Structure 1
Amino acid sequence: MLTVDNLHAYYGKSHVLHGVSFQVQPGEIVALLGRNGSGRSTTAKAVMGMVQAEGRVDWKGQRLLGRKPFEVAHLGLGYVPESRDIFPKLTVHQNLLLGQKGSGKGSRWSFDDMYAMFPRLKEREHTEAGVLSGGEQQMLTLCRTLMGDPELIIIDEPTEGLAPKIVELVGEYLLKLRERGISVLLIEQKLTIAMHISDRALVMGHGSIVFDGTPDALRADAATRKEWLEV
Protein backbone atom coordinates (compact mmCIF):
# COMPACT_ATOMS: atom_id res chain seq x y z
CA MET A 1 0.00 0.00 0.00
CA LEU A 2 2.61 2.54 1.18
CA THR A 3 6.18 1.73 0.21
CA VAL A 4 9.09 3.90 1.31
CA ASP A 5 12.44 2.97 -0.21
CA ASN A 6 15.86 4.55 0.38
CA LEU A 7 14.30 7.83 1.53
CA HIS A 8 16.63 10.74 2.23
CA ALA A 9 15.37 14.09 3.52
CA TYR A 10 16.95 17.45 4.15
CA TYR A 11 16.36 20.73 5.93
CA GLY A 12 18.51 23.03 3.84
CA LYS A 13 22.01 21.53 4.00
CA SER A 14 21.15 19.35 6.99
CA HIS A 15 20.81 15.68 5.96
CA VAL A 16 18.17 14.23 8.32
CA LEU A 17 16.97 10.92 6.84
CA HIS A 18 19.52 8.38 5.62
CA GLY A 19 17.99 5.71 3.40
CA VAL A 20 14.75 4.99 5.27
CA SER A 21 12.82 1.97 3.94
CA PHE A 22 9.58 0.37 5.19
CA GLN A 23 6.07 -0.60 4.13
CA VAL A 24 2.57 -0.19 5.53
CA GLN A 25 0.04 -2.78 4.38
CA PRO A 26 -3.76 -2.37 4.10
CA GLY A 27 -5.51 -2.40 7.47
CA GLU A 28 -2.23 -2.41 9.41
CA ILE A 29 -1.15 -0.29 12.38
CA VAL A 30 2.58 0.35 12.22
CA ALA A 31 4.26 2.13 15.14
CA LEU A 32 7.24 4.34 14.29
CA LEU A 33 9.25 4.62 17.49
CA GLY A 34 12.42 6.42 18.52
CA ARG A 35 13.80 9.21 20.64
CA ASN A 36 13.25 12.87 19.85
CA GLY A 37 15.44 13.89 16.92
CA SER A 38 15.62 10.40 15.45
CA GLY A 39 13.78 11.43 12.28
CA ARG A 40 10.25 10.14 12.89
CA SER A 41 8.39 13.41 12.23
CA THR A 42 10.62 14.18 9.26
CA THR A 43 9.68 10.80 7.78
CA ALA A 44 6.00 11.71 8.01
CA LYS A 45 6.58 15.12 6.47
CA ALA A 46 8.63 13.61 3.65
CA VAL A 47 5.83 11.18 2.79
CA MET A 48 3.35 14.08 2.77
CA GLY A 49 5.54 16.26 0.54
CA MET A 50 6.34 18.82 3.23
CA VAL A 51 10.16 18.62 3.20
CA GLN A 52 12.87 18.27 0.57
CA ALA A 53 13.35 14.54 -0.06
CA GLU A 54 14.72 12.04 -2.53
CA GLY A 55 14.41 8.31 -2.94
CA ARG A 56 11.09 6.59 -3.50
CA VAL A 57 7.69 6.86 -1.85
CA ASP A 58 4.92 4.92 -3.58
CA TRP A 59 1.26 4.90 -2.63
CA LYS A 60 -0.80 2.18 -4.31
CA GLY A 61 1.64 2.22 -7.22
CA GLN A 62 1.75 6.00 -7.59
CA ARG A 63 4.88 8.06 -6.94
CA LEU A 64 4.44 10.64 -4.19
CA LEU A 65 7.76 12.49 -4.12
CA GLY A 66 7.48 15.75 -5.97
CA ARG A 67 3.76 16.15 -5.27
CA LYS A 68 2.35 18.97 -3.16
CA PRO A 69 0.85 18.09 0.24
CA PHE A 70 -2.73 18.71 -0.91
CA GLU A 71 -2.16 16.40 -3.87
CA VAL A 72 -0.91 13.66 -1.55
CA ALA A 73 -3.94 14.16 0.69
CA HIS A 74 -6.34 13.87 -2.26
CA LEU A 75 -4.79 10.51 -3.14
CA GLY A 76 -6.02 9.13 0.19
CA LEU A 77 -3.40 9.90 2.84
CA GLY A 78 -4.32 11.77 6.01
CA TYR A 79 -1.86 13.53 8.30
CA VAL A 80 -2.34 14.57 11.91
CA PRO A 81 0.62 16.75 12.95
CA GLU A 82 1.94 16.91 16.49
CA SER A 83 1.02 20.61 16.58
CA ARG A 84 -2.68 19.68 15.99
CA ASP A 85 -3.29 22.83 13.88
CA ILE A 86 -6.97 23.32 14.64
CA PHE A 87 -8.68 26.54 13.52
CA PRO A 88 -9.16 28.24 16.92
CA LYS A 89 -11.83 30.78 15.94
CA LEU A 90 -14.01 28.21 14.18
CA THR A 91 -16.41 25.93 16.02
CA VAL A 92 -15.87 22.20 16.41
CA HIS A 93 -18.45 21.53 13.68
CA GLN A 94 -16.87 24.05 11.32
CA ASN A 95 -13.44 22.47 11.83
CA LEU A 96 -14.88 19.08 10.90
CA LEU A 97 -16.62 20.57 7.88
CA LEU A 98 -13.29 21.90 6.61
CA GLY A 99 -11.91 18.36 6.70
CA GLN A 100 -14.39 17.07 4.14
CA LYS A 101 -13.42 16.40 0.54
CA GLY A 102 -15.99 17.98 -1.73
CA SER A 103 -19.52 17.40 -0.48
CA GLY A 104 -18.49 14.47 1.70
CA LYS A 105 -20.88 12.16 -0.12
CA GLY A 106 -19.57 8.64 -0.42
CA SER A 107 -17.27 9.05 2.59
CA ARG A 108 -17.14 6.20 5.09
CA TRP A 109 -17.23 8.78 7.90
CA SER A 110 -19.98 11.21 8.88
CA PHE A 111 -20.44 13.88 11.54
CA ASP A 112 -22.56 11.40 13.47
CA ASP A 113 -19.66 8.90 13.41
CA MET A 114 -17.30 11.50 14.85
CA TYR A 115 -19.72 12.51 17.58
CA ALA A 116 -20.53 8.90 18.42
CA MET A 117 -16.83 8.09 18.74
CA PHE A 118 -16.11 11.18 20.84
CA PRO A 119 -19.32 12.31 22.61
CA ARG A 120 -17.38 15.18 24.16
CA LEU A 121 -17.07 16.76 20.71
CA LYS A 122 -20.84 16.58 20.30
CA GLU A 123 -21.22 18.46 23.58
CA ARG A 124 -18.81 21.11 22.27
CA GLU A 125 -20.16 21.13 18.71
CA HIS A 126 -20.84 24.88 18.64
CA THR A 127 -17.84 25.88 20.78
CA GLU A 128 -14.82 27.66 19.32
CA ALA A 129 -11.99 25.14 18.99
CA GLY A 130 -9.47 27.49 20.59
CA VAL A 131 -11.03 27.09 24.03
CA LEU A 132 -11.03 23.27 23.99
CA SER A 133 -8.71 21.33 26.27
CA GLY A 134 -5.61 19.67 24.82
CA GLY A 135 -7.34 16.30 24.76
CA GLU A 136 -10.41 17.73 23.04
CA GLN A 137 -8.24 19.45 20.44
CA GLN A 138 -6.48 16.15 19.75
CA MET A 139 -9.82 14.41 19.26
CA LEU A 140 -10.91 17.21 16.92
CA THR A 141 -7.75 17.03 14.82
CA LEU A 142 -8.05 13.28 14.42
CA CYS A 143 -11.71 13.54 13.45
CA ARG A 144 -11.12 16.42 11.03
CA THR A 145 -8.53 14.32 9.22
CA LEU A 146 -10.91 11.37 9.08
CA MET A 147 -13.59 13.55 7.48
CA GLY A 148 -11.33 13.62 4.41
CA ASP A 149 -11.87 9.85 4.12
CA PRO A 150 -8.20 8.74 4.04
CA GLU A 151 -7.18 5.14 3.44
CA LEU A 152 -4.01 5.64 5.48
CA ILE A 153 -3.56 8.08 8.31
CA ILE A 154 -0.20 9.27 9.65
CA ILE A 155 -0.51 10.42 13.26
CA ASP A 156 2.35 12.23 14.98
CA GLU A 157 2.46 11.91 18.79
CA PRO A 158 -1.33 11.80 19.34
CA THR A 159 -1.00 11.14 23.08
CA GLU A 160 1.48 13.92 23.86
CA GLY A 161 0.37 15.82 26.96
CA LEU A 162 -2.86 13.86 27.38
CA ALA A 163 -4.23 12.34 30.57
CA PRO A 164 -3.97 8.53 30.87
CA LYS A 165 -7.72 8.03 30.33
CA ILE A 166 -7.61 10.06 27.11
CA VAL A 167 -4.54 8.10 25.98
CA GLU A 168 -6.57 4.90 26.35
CA LEU A 169 -9.40 6.49 24.38
CA VAL A 170 -7.05 7.41 21.53
CA GLY A 171 -5.77 3.82 21.45
CA GLU A 172 -9.32 2.49 21.19
CA TYR A 173 -10.02 5.00 18.44
CA LEU A 174 -7.03 3.81 16.39
CA LEU A 175 -8.18 0.20 16.72
CA LYS A 176 -11.58 1.28 15.38
CA LEU A 177 -9.84 2.76 12.35
CA ARG A 178 -8.20 -0.58 11.67
CA GLU A 179 -11.57 -2.29 11.99
CA ARG A 180 -12.79 -0.02 9.19
CA GLY A 181 -9.87 -0.99 6.99
CA ILE A 182 -7.81 2.17 7.48
CA SER A 183 -4.06 1.79 7.79
CA VAL A 184 -2.24 3.78 10.48
CA LEU A 185 1.36 4.95 10.73
CA LEU A 186 1.62 5.91 14.39
CA ILE A 187 4.54 8.07 15.51
CA GLU A 188 4.67 7.66 19.26
CA GLN A 189 6.99 7.81 22.26
CA LYS A 190 4.73 5.99 24.72
CA LEU A 191 5.79 2.39 24.21
CA THR A 192 2.89 0.97 26.20
CA ILE A 193 0.14 2.24 23.89
CA ALA A 194 2.17 1.72 20.70
CA MET A 195 3.11 -1.86 21.53
CA HIS A 196 -0.42 -2.71 22.63
CA ILE A 197 -2.25 -1.68 19.45
CA SER A 198 0.32 -2.00 16.65
CA ASP A 199 0.77 -4.95 14.30
CA ARG A 200 4.38 -4.04 13.61
CA ALA A 201 6.99 -1.77 15.15
CA LEU A 202 9.72 0.26 13.47
CA VAL A 203 12.48 1.86 15.49
CA MET A 204 14.41 4.85 14.19
CA GLY A 205 17.83 6.05 15.22
CA HIS A 206 19.96 8.79 13.64
CA GLY A 207 17.66 9.03 10.62
CA SER A 208 17.59 5.32 9.78
CA ILE A 209 15.40 2.31 10.57
CA VAL A 210 17.28 0.17 13.09
CA PHE A 211 14.52 -2.34 13.85
CA ASP A 212 11.52 -3.69 11.91
CA GLY A 213 9.47 -6.46 13.50
CA THR A 214 6.52 -7.39 15.68
CA PRO A 215 5.90 -5.80 19.08
CA ASP A 216 6.67 -9.17 20.67
CA ALA A 217 10.03 -9.28 18.89
CA LEU A 218 10.83 -5.78 20.13
CA ARG A 219 9.86 -6.70 23.69
CA ALA A 220 12.32 -9.59 23.46
CA ASP A 221 15.09 -7.39 22.04
CA ALA A 222 16.45 -5.71 25.14
CA ALA A 223 19.57 -4.43 23.36
CA THR A 224 17.57 -2.47 20.76
CA ARG A 225 15.27 -1.00 23.37
CA LYS A 226 18.18 0.06 25.57
CA GLU A 227 20.20 1.63 22.75
CA TRP A 228 17.44 3.36 20.79
CA LEU A 229 14.38 3.82 23.00
CA GLU A 230 15.03 3.92 26.72
CA VAL A 231 16.14 7.10 28.42
Structure 2
Amino acid sequence: MTPTLLAVQGLHAYYGKSHILQGVDVHVDEGEIVTLLGRNGVGRSTMAKTIVGMVKASGSVRFRDEEILGRRTFEIAQLGIGYVPENRDIFPALTVRENLLLGAKRNPRRATLRWTAADMYAMFPRLKEREHTPAGVLSGGEQQMLTLCRTLMGDPDLILIDEPTEGLAPKIVTLVGEYLQALKARGVSVLLIEQKLAIALDISQRVYVMGHGHIVFEGTPAELKGNAQIRKEWLEV
Protein backbone atom coordinates (compact mmCIF):
# COMPACT_ATOMS: atom_id res chain seq x y z
CA MET A 1 0.00 0.00 0.00
CA THR A 2 1.34 3.44 -0.97
CA PRO A 3 2.07 5.66 2.06
CA THR A 4 -0.08 8.75 2.55
CA LEU A 5 1.97 11.92 2.24
CA LEU A 6 -0.68 14.54 3.07
CA ALA A 7 -3.85 13.92 5.09
CA VAL A 8 -6.41 16.69 5.61
CA GLN A 9 -9.27 15.81 7.96
CA GLY A 10 -12.24 17.78 9.25
CA LEU A 11 -10.76 21.07 8.04
CA HIS A 12 -12.76 24.22 8.84
CA ALA A 13 -11.66 27.74 7.88
CA TYR A 14 -13.28 31.16 8.05
CA TYR A 15 -12.81 34.59 6.50
CA GLY A 16 -14.43 36.81 9.11
CA LYS A 17 -17.88 35.36 9.66
CA SER A 18 -17.87 33.47 6.35
CA HIS A 19 -17.47 29.72 6.88
CA ILE A 20 -15.36 28.81 3.81
CA LEU A 21 -14.14 25.25 4.52
CA GLN A 22 -16.75 23.10 6.19
CA GLY A 23 -15.16 19.84 7.26
CA VAL A 24 -12.92 19.04 4.27
CA ASP A 25 -11.24 15.61 4.01
CA VAL A 26 -8.54 15.15 1.34
CA HIS A 27 -5.43 13.01 1.06
CA VAL A 28 -2.49 12.72 -1.32
CA ASP A 29 -0.34 9.59 -1.46
CA GLU A 30 3.34 9.49 -2.31
CA GLY A 31 4.00 9.72 -6.04
CA GLU A 32 0.45 10.76 -6.84
CA ILE A 33 -1.12 13.59 -8.83
CA VAL A 34 -4.45 14.55 -7.28
CA THR A 35 -6.66 17.28 -8.76
CA LEU A 36 -9.15 19.37 -6.80
CA LEU A 37 -11.88 20.61 -9.11
CA GLY A 38 -14.72 23.05 -8.56
CA ARG A 39 -16.13 26.39 -9.55
CA ASN A 40 -14.62 29.68 -8.41
CA GLY A 41 -15.43 30.66 -4.84
CA VAL A 42 -16.06 27.19 -3.41
CA GLY A 43 -12.95 27.17 -1.19
CA ARG A 44 -10.28 25.39 -3.24
CA SER A 45 -7.66 28.15 -2.98
CA THR A 46 -8.48 28.62 0.69
CA MET A 47 -7.70 24.96 1.30
CA ALA A 48 -4.27 25.30 -0.31
CA LYS A 49 -3.50 28.43 1.71
CA THR A 50 -4.65 26.70 4.89
CA ILE A 51 -2.37 23.72 4.26
CA VAL A 52 0.66 26.03 3.98
CA GLY A 53 -0.23 28.04 7.07
CA MET A 54 -1.63 31.20 5.47
CA VAL A 55 -5.18 30.84 6.86
CA LYS A 56 -6.11 29.98 10.43
CA ALA A 57 -8.23 26.86 10.67
CA SER A 58 -9.36 23.98 12.86
CA GLY A 59 -9.20 20.28 12.14
CA SER A 60 -6.10 18.36 11.11
CA VAL A 61 -3.43 18.66 8.41
CA ARG A 62 -0.80 15.93 8.63
CA PHE A 63 2.30 15.72 6.45
CA ARG A 64 4.23 12.44 6.68
CA ASP A 65 2.00 11.71 9.68
CA GLU A 66 3.15 14.88 11.48
CA GLU A 67 0.58 17.52 12.44
CA ILE A 68 1.38 20.81 10.72
CA LEU A 69 -1.83 22.80 11.22
CA GLY A 70 -0.93 25.95 13.15
CA ARG A 71 2.69 26.03 12.08
CA ARG A 72 4.15 29.04 10.30
CA THR A 73 4.41 29.03 6.53
CA PHE A 74 8.22 28.95 6.37
CA GLU A 75 8.29 26.00 8.77
CA ILE A 76 5.85 24.08 6.58
CA ALA A 77 7.93 24.86 3.48
CA GLN A 78 11.05 23.56 5.21
CA LEU A 79 9.32 20.21 5.79
CA GLY A 80 9.09 19.71 2.03
CA ILE A 81 5.85 21.34 0.85
CA GLY A 82 5.96 23.77 -2.08
CA TYR A 83 3.18 26.20 -2.98
CA VAL A 84 2.56 27.82 -6.36
CA PRO A 85 -0.06 30.58 -5.88
CA GLU A 86 -2.57 31.55 -8.52
CA ASN A 87 -1.17 35.09 -8.82
CA ARG A 88 2.37 33.73 -9.52
CA ASP A 89 4.20 36.20 -7.24
CA ILE A 90 7.37 36.50 -9.31
CA PHE A 91 9.89 39.25 -8.50
CA PRO A 92 9.50 41.49 -11.59
CA ALA A 93 12.72 43.48 -11.24
CA LEU A 94 14.89 40.37 -10.83
CA THR A 95 16.05 38.25 -13.75
CA VAL A 96 14.77 34.76 -14.49
CA ARG A 97 17.92 33.24 -13.02
CA GLU A 98 17.76 35.39 -9.88
CA ASN A 99 14.13 34.35 -9.32
CA LEU A 100 15.12 30.69 -9.61
CA LEU A 101 18.04 31.04 -7.20
CA LEU A 102 15.79 32.71 -4.62
CA GLY A 103 13.74 29.51 -4.53
CA ALA A 104 16.68 27.19 -3.92
CA LYS A 105 16.85 25.43 -0.58
CA ARG A 106 17.82 21.99 0.63
CA ASN A 107 15.20 19.43 1.61
CA PRO A 108 16.02 18.24 5.15
CA ARG A 109 15.42 14.65 4.03
CA ARG A 110 18.25 14.80 1.48
CA ALA A 111 21.95 15.56 1.56
CA THR A 112 21.95 17.17 -1.88
CA LEU A 113 19.54 19.09 -4.10
CA ARG A 114 17.51 17.08 -6.61
CA TRP A 115 17.01 20.05 -8.91
CA THR A 116 19.24 22.76 -10.35
CA ALA A 117 18.68 25.76 -12.59
CA ALA A 118 20.05 23.63 -15.43
CA ASP A 119 17.25 21.10 -14.85
CA MET A 120 14.70 23.90 -15.09
CA TYR A 121 16.20 25.14 -18.34
CA ALA A 122 16.14 21.60 -19.74
CA MET A 123 12.41 21.31 -19.01
CA PHE A 124 11.61 24.82 -20.21
CA PRO A 125 14.20 25.94 -22.80
CA ARG A 126 12.37 29.25 -23.14
CA LEU A 127 13.51 30.16 -19.60
CA LYS A 128 17.12 29.54 -20.63
CA GLU A 129 16.66 31.93 -23.54
CA ARG A 130 15.29 34.53 -21.11
CA GLU A 131 17.77 33.75 -18.30
CA HIS A 132 19.03 37.33 -17.90
CA THR A 133 15.70 39.03 -18.66
CA PRO A 134 13.76 40.81 -15.88
CA ALA A 135 10.86 38.53 -14.93
CA GLY A 136 8.38 41.40 -15.15
CA VAL A 137 8.59 41.54 -18.94
CA LEU A 138 7.93 37.81 -19.47
CA SER A 139 4.67 36.66 -21.01
CA GLY A 140 2.01 35.14 -18.76
CA GLY A 141 2.99 31.64 -19.82
CA GLU A 142 6.67 32.30 -19.18
CA GLN A 143 5.90 33.73 -15.75
CA GLN A 144 3.88 30.61 -14.93
CA MET A 145 6.80 28.40 -15.97
CA LEU A 146 9.14 30.50 -13.84
CA THR A 147 6.90 30.26 -10.77
CA LEU A 148 6.61 26.49 -11.10
CA CYS A 149 10.37 26.13 -11.52
CA ARG A 150 11.20 28.48 -8.64
CA THR A 151 9.05 26.35 -6.33
CA LEU A 152 10.71 23.18 -7.56
CA MET A 153 14.13 24.67 -6.75
CA GLY A 154 13.11 24.31 -3.10
CA ASP A 155 13.19 20.51 -3.60
CA PRO A 156 9.68 19.79 -2.24
CA ASP A 157 8.19 16.31 -1.84
CA LEU A 158 4.71 17.75 -2.41
CA ILE A 159 3.67 20.74 -4.53
CA LEU A 160 0.34 22.53 -4.21
CA ILE A 161 -0.39 24.30 -7.50
CA ASP A 162 -3.28 26.75 -7.74
CA GLU A 163 -4.78 27.25 -11.23
CA PRO A 164 -1.52 26.96 -13.23
CA THR A 165 -3.29 26.96 -16.60
CA GLU A 166 -5.49 30.04 -16.00
CA GLY A 167 -5.28 32.37 -18.98
CA LEU A 168 -2.68 30.30 -20.83
CA ALA A 169 -2.71 29.30 -24.48
CA PRO A 170 -3.59 25.63 -25.20
CA LYS A 171 0.02 24.85 -26.18
CA ILE A 172 1.27 26.10 -22.80
CA VAL A 173 -1.49 24.19 -20.98
CA THR A 174 -0.20 21.01 -22.61
CA LEU A 175 3.34 21.93 -21.56
CA VAL A 176 2.22 22.40 -17.95
CA GLY A 177 0.59 18.96 -18.00
CA GLU A 178 3.81 17.39 -19.28
CA TYR A 179 5.77 19.24 -16.58
CA LEU A 180 3.53 17.83 -13.83
CA GLN A 181 3.89 14.31 -15.15
CA ALA A 182 7.67 14.79 -15.24
CA LEU A 183 7.57 15.77 -11.56
CA LYS A 184 5.61 12.64 -10.69
CA ALA A 185 8.18 10.53 -12.56
CA ARG A 186 10.88 12.00 -10.30
CA GLY A 187 9.03 11.32 -7.07
CA VAL A 188 7.24 14.63 -6.44
CA SER A 189 3.57 14.42 -5.45
CA VAL A 190 1.15 17.08 -6.72
CA LEU A 191 -2.09 18.54 -5.43
CA LEU A 192 -3.42 20.47 -8.42
CA ILE A 193 -6.21 23.03 -8.04
CA GLU A 194 -7.79 23.40 -11.44
CA GLN A 195 -10.95 24.31 -13.30
CA LYS A 196 -10.14 22.61 -16.59
CA LEU A 197 -11.65 19.14 -16.50
CA ALA A 198 -9.58 17.91 -19.44
CA ILE A 199 -6.18 18.27 -17.76
CA ALA A 200 -7.51 16.68 -14.55
CA LEU A 201 -8.83 13.65 -16.43
CA ASP A 202 -5.60 13.37 -18.41
CA ILE A 203 -2.91 13.47 -15.73
CA SER A 204 -4.50 12.67 -12.34
CA GLN A 205 -4.64 9.40 -10.46
CA ARG A 206 -7.55 10.67 -8.35
CA VAL A 207 -9.82 13.70 -8.40
CA TYR A 208 -11.89 15.56 -5.84
CA VAL A 209 -14.75 17.93 -6.55
CA MET A 210 -15.48 20.71 -4.06
CA GLY A 211 -18.78 22.54 -3.73
CA HIS A 212 -19.72 25.15 -1.12
CA GLY A 213 -16.81 24.26 1.18
CA HIS A 214 -17.45 20.50 1.08
CA ILE A 215 -15.97 17.62 -0.89
CA VAL A 216 -18.88 16.36 -2.99
CA PHE A 217 -16.99 13.73 -5.02
CA GLU A 218 -13.85 11.62 -4.72
CA GLY A 219 -12.79 9.05 -7.28
CA THR A 220 -10.74 8.23 -10.34
CA PRO A 221 -10.84 10.30 -13.52
CA ALA A 222 -12.79 7.48 -15.17
CA GLU A 223 -15.39 7.54 -12.39
CA LEU A 224 -15.82 11.30 -12.71
CA LYS A 225 -16.05 11.03 -16.48
CA GLY A 226 -18.87 8.54 -16.03
CA ASN A 227 -20.75 10.63 -13.46
CA ALA A 228 -22.74 13.15 -15.50
CA GLN A 229 -24.78 14.29 -12.50
CA ILE A 230 -21.74 15.44 -10.50
CA ARG A 231 -20.25 17.19 -13.52
CA LYS A 232 -23.50 18.97 -14.31
CA GLU A 233 -24.25 20.05 -10.74
CA TRP A 234 -20.78 21.08 -9.57
CA LEU A 235 -18.54 21.73 -12.58
CA GLU A 236 -20.40 22.81 -15.68
CA VAL A 237 -21.28 26.46 -16.19
Band of TM-score, shorter chain: over 0.9
- Counterpart pick for 1:192 among 198, 218, 222: 198
Amino acid at match of 2:40: N
- Is residue 30–residue 184 contact of structure 1 (8 Å, CA) maintained in 2? yes
> 1:32-181 maps to which residues of 2 (within 5 A)?
32-101=36-105, 106-181=112-187
Q: 2:70 and 2:193 mapped to 1: Cα distance?
A: 23
- Is residue 11–residue 52 contact of structure 1 (8 Å, CA) maintained in 2? no
Deviation at 1:61, TM superposition (A): 1.4
Deviation at 1:221, TM superposition (A): 0.5
Would you say 1:30 and 2:34 are equivalent positions? yes
Would you say 1:21 and 2:40 are equivalent positions? no
List runs of 5+ in structure 2 lacking aligned partners.
none
Structure 1's consecutive aligned runs of 4 or more residues displaced over 2 angstroms after TM superposition are 102-105
Q: 1:95 and 1:205 mapped to 2: Cα distance?
A: 35
TM-score scaled by structure 2?
Answer: 0.96
Q: 1:121 and 1:63 mapped to 2: Cα distance?
A: 37
Cα RMSD after superposing both structures: 1.2
Q: 2:80 and 2:188 mapped to 1: Cα distance?
A: 10
Deviation at 1:52, TM superposition (A): 1.4
- Counterpart pick for 1:203 among 199, 209, 226: 209
Q: Percent identity?
A: 70
- Is residue 5–residue 57 contact of structure 1 (8 Å, CA) maintained in 2? yes
Q: Structure 2 vs 1, CA of residues 65 and 144 (structure 1 numbering), >3 Å: closer, same or farther?
A: same
Deviation at 1:12, TM superposition (A): 1.9
Q: 1:110 and 1:190 mapped to 2: Cα distance?
A: 30
Query: Mean alpha-carbon deviation: is it higher for 164-173 or for 100-109?
Result: 100-109
Q: 2:94 and 2:9 mapped to 1: Cα distance?
A: 39
Q: 1:13 and 1:66 mapped to 2: Cα distance?
A: 20
Amino acid at match of 1:85: D
- Is residue 209–residue 234 contact of structure 2 (8 Å, CA) maintained in 1? yes
Q: 2:106 and 2:91 mapped to 1: Cα distance?
A: 19
List runs of 5+ in structure 1 lacking aligned partners.
none
SS in 1 for 2:165: coil
